[in-house]
A and B are shown apart, each in its own frame.
Chain A
Amino acid sequence: EAQVTQNPRYLITVTGKKLTVTCSQNMNHEYMSWYRQDPGLGLRQIYYSMNVEVTDKGDVPEGYKVSRKEKRNFPLILESPSPNQTSLYFCASTYRRRSYGYTFGSGTRLTVV
């Protein structure tokens, strides 16, 4: 089944404790992206990657890191999480330059206390 898999689904952590949210897709998509969703603010792009070893900042990149060492994986790293990073996170992927649409992961609910 074609899908984007995120882990974990739920995570509660403490301020300053480094964490990684994993994202993997099995569709050979070139483009991958991370979004966060907050009440009243909607979905905002954090980082994106056009292909392996090519990443760039989205609209709200502060406090996050990403890497794209393999085409299928695009982990989101919070090196020193803070309470304002409490949010619902989504990973998504698509083909480049094709009218194919996006596939989203099931989301990761992160709470930083």
Chain B
Amino acid sequence: KQEVTQIPAALSVPEGENLVLNCSFTDSAIYNLQWFRQDPGKGLTSLLLIQSSQREQTSGRLNASLDKSSGRSTLYIAASQPGDSATYLCAGQGGSEKLVFGKGTKLTVNP
């Protein structure tokens, strides 16, 4: 059974800092790894999708990597801004199509 863990549960940083959010998963037979952003009480916005054959994906100031052998993914945010404050969720998709979520990292970027 796939389990996804995100560390840390919460992170507070000053504006402008580069930061890394961590995600680990137990089943390396992962199909996709998807990172989402969620603002309080709102829906999920897809940030990056890494397919199993890929090592990383980039979108603007965001870069996500995937290492299936170690069961890890990281989300790198460059030059953080207060508008980046949100909860970041990673989710792994297996061959059954089911998406298994971590519990998220709540990020606060202080001006």
Contact = CB atoms under 8 A, between A and B. Distances in A.
A102 B43 contact: no
A101 B49 CA distance: 6
Contacts of A35: 101
Given A42-B101, A43-B89, A48-B97, A90 B31 contact: no
B43 A106 contact: yes
A46 B103 CA distance: 17
Q: Is the interface of A mostly helix, strand, loop or mixed?
A: strand
Contacts of B99: 33, 45, 92, 102
Contacts of B31: 99
Contacts of A104: 36, 43-44, 46
Interface of B: 31-32, 34, 36, 41-44, 46, 49, 51-53, 89, 91, 93, 97-99, 101-104
